[in-house]
């Protein structure tokens, strides 16, 4: 007899992230049944015909009934509404987790919806993705050797934590536990700030008089630097609003350092410039060594 | 009888850029003889054994004698010293060009060295490179379908301009003519500013307490965004100092826009955020379409 980690899994938002989770758990035999939820029936039909989900519902309150695991894979801006629809039908043996890129805001949304945070809620964030989106792009290997950060609350049940952990490990991911605050600060630094810089740079250049020539003369370095400026604007709007405090703080720290660099350029401060560039190069080169990445600038 | 574009070419600084130019011109039969110059004889021996140069000299004043084309492929910080060594032996049928990433500073260096700028000096800048450096990395196709910007002065001789233009076209490049000021502004925007942002971001993160985790949790977006922070610190020091005015101006414009973005995040200004991100995404996507690049963010 198979030992399932999850008997009945409800995935709310069956896109790349939710769909890949379902596929991975099915492939490894970790789940008995997967219920997908979306407002769009044709989308759910597609997910079912692809074998990503076994059944579907369009109403969250119906879908989650009898589920021992509920995963919210919706945009950050939709979390609270989903929690509100789960709240009336929540049960003691239902573990709830999410995949949002900012964690304090998810907990706040849960607080609003549930009044007191359920012991079975364990916020999570898989550090994975591809350039594509939608259920058609989902694949079972997405989480293999990738990190998943979980940020349990003090009130979280050890059993629920362990169940979420086991779910991601079954997908081949490495699960790391941090505090909510720490997650949001680290992600602000490593992901949210770079996205703001890329968006802001491309927008600044696009507004300039010499716009056409600027994009015309741009070479490989520019292309790589600005790749993330092609990200989904709505998703990044939600992330900005959701991780506002940590992100605004990081932009301030970055801006102050950039101002010091500009001052050094203006004053021909060769020592400052060479030291800064060398420190950055060393950190970047070490990052690549650690990750076994072989790339260099043009 | 072959019609050479250049009879005797002197390349000062036989690295990736100078070496690839020599190889391309030799391959296409556009040059009769190539003389390499460096302070390092073993380096010149290697270039000769690779067939990149035919002969070499360690003294610039000797090397340029009898040359109808002299190309300065040295760091921006070394330009003035090279011009000073050419000045005493310059002749009327010697065309001089360079490959520096900032053009006003090259002209200023020439002014200092020559007192009055020679009519045969035509500053240039090939927008090309690879992740490698040194003569071993040079190859004849480096300039194929790449842009070369030339920035002739009002006093530049039409014959000299045409000779520099023909040289790069023989390498398969498209030659574009702009003013010095315009070149420096466009390159500050499209290349120098992004390098400053990448260096500054990596250095800011490397100085943070959570440094190890930050680099640990960094994913593909961060890797691409910071690739150019692995660039050569000495070269970028020279570029900063050489293109100081245009670069400091661009950093100021960028910083002001970034501050507006931070304000919008702080005030939950959804309209501003979505509009900015959408404009940037559109500009980036169009840039990729124009360049036939197929890439997207994670």
Ordered domains of chain B (ranges, CATH): 6-178 (3.40.50.720), 183-267 (1.10.3660.10)
Identify the H or E element spanning A56: strand A55-57
Hey, are the CB atoms on A287 and B223 less than 8 Å from each other?
A: yes
Nearest CA distance, B235 vs chain A (angstrom): 9
Per-residue pLDDT of chain B (298 residues; tens, 9 = 90+): 468 999 999 999 999 999 999 999 999 999 999 999 999 999 999 999 999 999 999 999 999 999 999 999 999 999 999 999 999 999 999 999 999 999 999 999 999 999 999 999 999 999 987 767 889 999 999 999 999 999 999 999 999 999 999 999 999 999 999 999 999 999 999 999 999 999 999 999 999 988 888 888 887 778 888 888 988 999 999 999 999 999 999 999 999 999 999 999 999 999 999 999 999 999 999 888 887 766 655 4
Residue matched to tokens 């709830």 = A96
Query: Is the distance from CB of B89 to CB of B64 less than 8 angstroms?
Result: yes
Q: Could you tell me the strand order of the sheet in which B124-126 lies? A: B124-126, B147-150, B174-177
B191 in reach of chain A (CB within 8 A):
yes
Query: Is the distance from CB of B247 to CB of B192 less than 8 angstroms?
Result: yes
Task: Tell me which residues of chain B, numbers 122 to 141, contact chain A at a CB-CB cutoff of 8 Å.
Answer: 127-132
Hey, are the CB atoms on B230 and A284 less than 8 Å from each other?
A: yes
Q: How far apart are CA B101 and CA B149, in angstroms?
A: 10
Whether A220 shows a pLDDT value over 80: the answer reads no
User: For residues B89, B91, B96 and B102, what is the CA-based torsion angle, rounded to 10 degrees?
Assistant: 60
Q: From its phi and psi, is residue B20 left (phi > 0), alpha (psi between -120 and 50) or beta?
A: alpha
Hey, are the CB atoms on B236 and A284 less than 8 Å from each other?
A: no
Question: In chain B, which residues have their Cβ closer than 8 Å to the Cβ of A201?
Answer: 193-194, 197, 254
Query: Is the distance from CB of B56 to CB of B64 less than 8 angstroms?
Result: no
Hey, are the CB atoms on A221 and B228 less than 8 Å from each other?
A: yes
Whether A243 shows a pLDDT value over 90: the answer reads yes
The pLDDT of residue B160 is 98
The pLDDT of residue A26 is 98
Residue A139: count of CB within 10 angstroms of its CB: 16
Hey, are the CB atoms on A198 and B223 less than 8 Å from each other?
A: no
Q: How far apart are CA B147 and CA B167, in angstroms?
A: 13
Nearest CA distance, A85 vs chain B (angstrom): 25
Nearest CA distance, B247 vs chain A (angstrom): 8
Nearest beta carbon to residue A204 from set B191, B257, B278: B257
Closest CA in chain A for residue B292: A223
Q: How far apart are CA A191 and CA A187, in angstroms?
A: 5
Closest CA in chain A for residue B296: A131
Task: Give the residue from B175, B195, B228, B270 with the most A CB atoms within 10 Å of its CB, the best one to mutate.
Answer: B228
Hey, are the CB atoms on B279 and A129 less than 8 Å from each other?
A: no
The pLDDT of residue B1 is 46
pLDDT higher for A222 or B277?
B277
% residues pLDDT > 70 (chain A): 97
Nearest CA distance, B169 vs chain A (angstrom): 17
Q: CA torsion sign, A209 to A215 to A218 to A222? A: positive
- CB-based burial, B247-272: b 16+ in 10 Å, e otherwise: bbebbebbbebbeebbebbeeebeeb
Strand partners, A98: A72
């Amino acid at each position: 007899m198979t030992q399932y980690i999850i008997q009945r899994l409800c995935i709310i938002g069956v896109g790349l992230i939710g769909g890949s989770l379902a596929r991975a758990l099915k492939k490894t035999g970790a789940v008995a049944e997967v219920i997908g939820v979306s407002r769009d029936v044709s989308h759910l039909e597609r997910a079912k015909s692809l074998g990503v989900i076994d059944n579907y519902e369009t109403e969250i309150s119906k879908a989650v009934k009898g589920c021992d695991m509920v995963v919210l894979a919706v945009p950050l801006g939709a979390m609270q509404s989903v929690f509100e629809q789960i709240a009336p039908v929540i049960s003691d043996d239902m573990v709830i987790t999410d995949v949002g890129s900012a964690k304090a805001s998810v907990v706040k949304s849960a607080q609003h919806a549930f009044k007191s945070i359920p012991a079975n809620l364990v916020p999570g964030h898989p550090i994975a993705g591809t350039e594509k989106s939608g259920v058609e792009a989902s694949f079972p290997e997405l989480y293999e050797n990738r990190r998943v950060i979980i940020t349990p609350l003090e009130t979280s049940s050890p059993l629920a934590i362990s169940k979420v952990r086991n779910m991601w490990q079954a997908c081949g991911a490495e699960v790391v536990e941090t505090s909510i605050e720490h997650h949001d600060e680290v992600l602000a630094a490593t992901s949210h700030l770079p996205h703001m810089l890329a968006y802001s740079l491309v927008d600044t250049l696009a507004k300039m008089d010499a716009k056409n020539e600027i994009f015309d003369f741009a070479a490989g370095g520019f292309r790589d630097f600005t790749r993330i400026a092609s990200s989904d604007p709505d998703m990044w709007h939600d992330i900005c609003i959701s991780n506002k405090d940590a992100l605004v703080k990081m932009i301030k720290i970055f801006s102050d350092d950039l101002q010091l660099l500009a001052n050094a350029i203006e004053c021909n401060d060769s020592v400052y410039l060479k030291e800064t560039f060398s420190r950055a190069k060393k950190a970047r080169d070490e990052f690549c060594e650690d990750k076994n990445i072989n790339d260099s600038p043009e």
